Chain A
Amino acid sequence: MMFSDNEKISLRQLQCLIISNFTGIFMILLPFYLFMPSAEGSVLSLIISFALGGAVIFALLLAAERKNKRKNTAALKALCLFLFAKTALVNGSYMALAQQAVSVFLLKGQYRFAMAALMAVFAFFICRRGIEPRARLGEITAFILLVSLALVFILVFYECDIRELKWGLSADSRTFGTAVKALLLFSGGEALFFILPYVSRKKGEVKKSALTAFTLLGAITVLLLSEALCVFGLNEVTAKKWPVLQMMKSISFPALLLERQDVLFMGMFIAGICMFAAFTVGSMAVYAEKIFSKANRNISCLASALVVMVCTVFFLNENTLHLVLNAAMALNAFSLAVAFIYIIVWGDVG
């Protein structure tokens, strides 16, 4: 049977999952981090960061492809326990930042708890049925995101001052450091390793598909970020907390019949955040199932959703923002390292 309940996704669905899971969150958080002290060299840092990210993914998948894999249950459980906690803290904090942006734009900064709860319910709802429905939703969401972002890019393009791009591409001493930090801040590559058992594939195809999707994701992010820099200019863009979102306010398109189109385009970001929430809960549920081998999927998804919701609501505020970001960087670096070690030494996640 072609569409059987075999818990397998196609390579195209894997690509769409990569795009839909990260596009929304990257658009909101990457500019926030890269433009924070100064926008100089930001675009170049982003390009380097994506190139490094691609290399990391390639290395990870290359290591995962090797034969004669072994399974070390104790090591795997320890790794998954760490990844569960890390994903909850880091992704929960990112979701909090993203929800903050949406709340400010659409709800005057209110309803933060309700938003977190609703996202958690959504993530639970889609994840409890396994990876297949999430992959299908990913296909549709990726299409919506790509079309909407292309539309945003075109609609804003005429307001760009292309000369401002030179600041974004100028290299200085901190460019490479920023790129590495950005990579560490958003590296969740080890989650990909745990998705691999669900991908129906031939050898070598996953690398190609994952890298294609990652390149596309990088290209969109770089284009939108560059556009934000060109629209606001070097000085103004630094003062903006969510430049890509704020850039959409300048969209003026009479045929859309609405006064402000940015609110309409926020829908795609909400879709992106929802997919990120689903990715978070889905990954955590997989980790939970590895830790407790007899775990029921409903319970593991419910527990994961609750933990993420708590992390989203309680850990992040204006005072803890920098602390959380630095902690995220360290945790991501460590998780990537231990995941690599596990993959190289044993390689089988079951």
Chain B
Amino acid sequence: MRLFDSFDENIQYLKNTFKGCDDIVFKYFKASDERCFMVYTDNIVDGAVIEEAVLTNLMFRVREGDGESLEERGIAVGEVEESVDFEKIIDAVLLGDTAVLAEKSKAAFIISTKGWPSRGVPETETEMTVYGPKDAFTEQGSINTVLIRRRIRDTALKVKRMKCGRRSKTDIAVMYMEGIARDEVAAEAIGKIESLDVDMIIDSGYLQQFMEGNSLSPFPQLQLTERPDKAAAALYEGRVVIVVDNSPFVLIVPAVLNVFFQAAEDYYERWEIAAFLRVLRFAAAFAAATLPGFYIALTVFNPNMIPPSLALKIAAGRGNVPFPTIIEVLIMELAFELLREGGVRLPSPVSSAIGIVGGIIIGQAAVDAGIVGPMVVIVVALAGICSFVVPNNAMVSAIRLTKYFIIIMSSFMGMFGFCMSLMFILAHLCTLKSFGFPYMYPFCSGSENDYTDFKDSIIRKPLYMMKKRPVFAKFTQSKRMKGR
């Protein structure tokens, strides 16, 4: 809807629109002899900017005939936009901008005065490293884009700003390196966001779920990170970063299985230890998913596979246990899940106490009481520890869920069920794609990039050997380093 010709009608319309919104501030003032009206949302604006750069200038320093428009005469703010659209003015006010209407102007001035409370740039909490930067993304989208921009001083870094959510009107910034990122990936990301017709986007987690190719899969198909260095590195690789306002996590697309095992620290440390840790992570993820199922398959269906001395120990430990092995494993797994969930919700001093109480006291008590065998406690605890080695929380959750599938299959058909469950999971992973890239890349379709992406997969080779960008980048920009 366009502004009315009458100044008073415009004011009345705005007042009616914001009726009942006590956090909206209306102010009449005069610039020279011209009547003006200002509207902004309290507490999400920078009060000093409004007072110094707008009000003081307009009310006391402006003289008629100084310039042509009010903006030129007295608004000392860099970002000022004129608009005649009520919807745009209202959206801007709700986002922390200030709208000024002047009696003799046909358009309203939208002045950038955003200044909402922020907790500053925090330290990473979910992706901690020993080496490397410690800063993390914050809830303020504009700060997040700055944190990335600081690391990429290149005009090729493009930022496409858009809004998503019919009511939330969440600010979203899609960032990509022009010339390096594949156009079709950036276009698909932008297209998916634009085509979203949803009430609200509260967090990047919402957007992640809406943008996934297969939303029924437990495996994440978009990568969430709170580390600006990781996001910047992804941009250099030709991937696309999506910054969602009010979320301290940004999204990175495309995301294949391999990237969920890459930690930021891998590239800050020497390659030998990084390669070792990478192998460890893959092995740990496999163990986290398979260990309980494998234990059931071995002990229930194929005990002849176990060396006699170990088999005797397991049998002795299970002597008084009244439940079948599957129930025994499930009891411990569920107890472990409860402890984990309880630990997450509680304040950290209490959660560590819960860990000690649950892990040591209840575990020992359960064994002493003969509810579970000691070997099951070891297996479940080992699987739990292994899951913590994976550096991405979404992947950890996927592994947790697949573990139960393997447990169930193994408990019905032993080693055959165990192998079949692995085949099902592998087949499922092979059906997944993230923005056109096979999820199992580079373990399959690796030939598309001459197998060079294996250099940064299960083993992280020395940095000087990674001369080519990953497959996500355009072929014309595949070289990132000159030969040594």
Contact = CB atoms under 8 A, between A and B. Distances in A.
Contacts of A4: 436
A5 B444 CA distance: 15
Given A126-B427, A258-B306, A270 B447 contact: no
B443 A140 contact: yes
A156 interface: no
Contact of A106 (B307, B416, B436, B445): B416
B378 interface: no
Interface in B275-312: 301-302, 304-308
Contacts of B414: 106-107
Given A118-B420, A274-B423, A267 B415 contact: yes
Contacts, number: 109
A275 B422 CA distance: 13
A122 B301 contact: no
A102 B301 CA distance: 13
A140 B471 contact: no
A136 interface: yes
Q: Majority SS of interface residues in chain A?
A: helix
A107 B301 contact: yes
A255 interface: no
B438 A140 contact: no
B131 interface: no
A7 interface: no
Contacts of B424: 122, 125
Contact of A3 (B305, B306, B413, B445): B445
Nearest to A11: B447
Contact of A263 (B305, B308, B423): B305
A5 B438 CA distance: 10
B437 interface: yes
Given A107-B413, A126-B431, A264 B420 contact: no
A119 B443 CA distance: 24
Interface in B416-432: 416-420, 422-424, 426-428, 430-431
Contacts of B420: 118-119, 122, 270, 274
B440 interface: yes
Contact of B415 (A106, A129, A134, A271): A106
B9 interface: no
Interface residues of A, number: 40
A259 B430 contact: no
Nearest to B427: A126
Contacts of B443: 139-140
A148 to B, nearest CB: 12
A137 B431 CA distance: 9
Interface residues of B, number: 39
A51 interface: no
Contacts of A111: 413, 416
B416 A133 contact: no
Interface string B49-78: 000000000000000000000000000000
B125 interface: no
Given A106-B414, A136-B440, A260 B305 contact: yes
B402 to A, nearest CB: 15
A196 interface: no
A258 B423 contact: no
B433 interface: yes
A259 B445 contact: no
Nearest to B409: A118
Given A1-B184, A126-B430, A271-B423, A136 B445 contact: yes
Interface of A: 1-5, 10, 12-13, 102-103, 106-107, 111, 114-115, 118-119, 122, 125-126, 129, 133-137, 139-141, 257-260, 263-264, 266-267, 270-271, 274
Given A1-B436, A270-B419, 10 more contacts: A1-B184, A2-B448, A12-B447, A107-B301, A118-B417, A125-B424, A137-B444, A139-B446, A140-B430, A267-B422
The 9 closest A-B pairs by CB, nearest first: A136-B444, A136-B430, A139-B444, A270-B419, A133-B431, A137-B430, A267-B419, A133-B430, A126-B427
Interface of B: 182, 184, 301-302, 304-308, 412-420, 422-424, 426-428, 430-431, 433, 436-438, 440-441, 443-448, 471
9 contacts: A3-B441, A3-B448, A137-B444, A140-B444, A259-B307, A263-B304, A266-B419, A267-B418, A274-B423
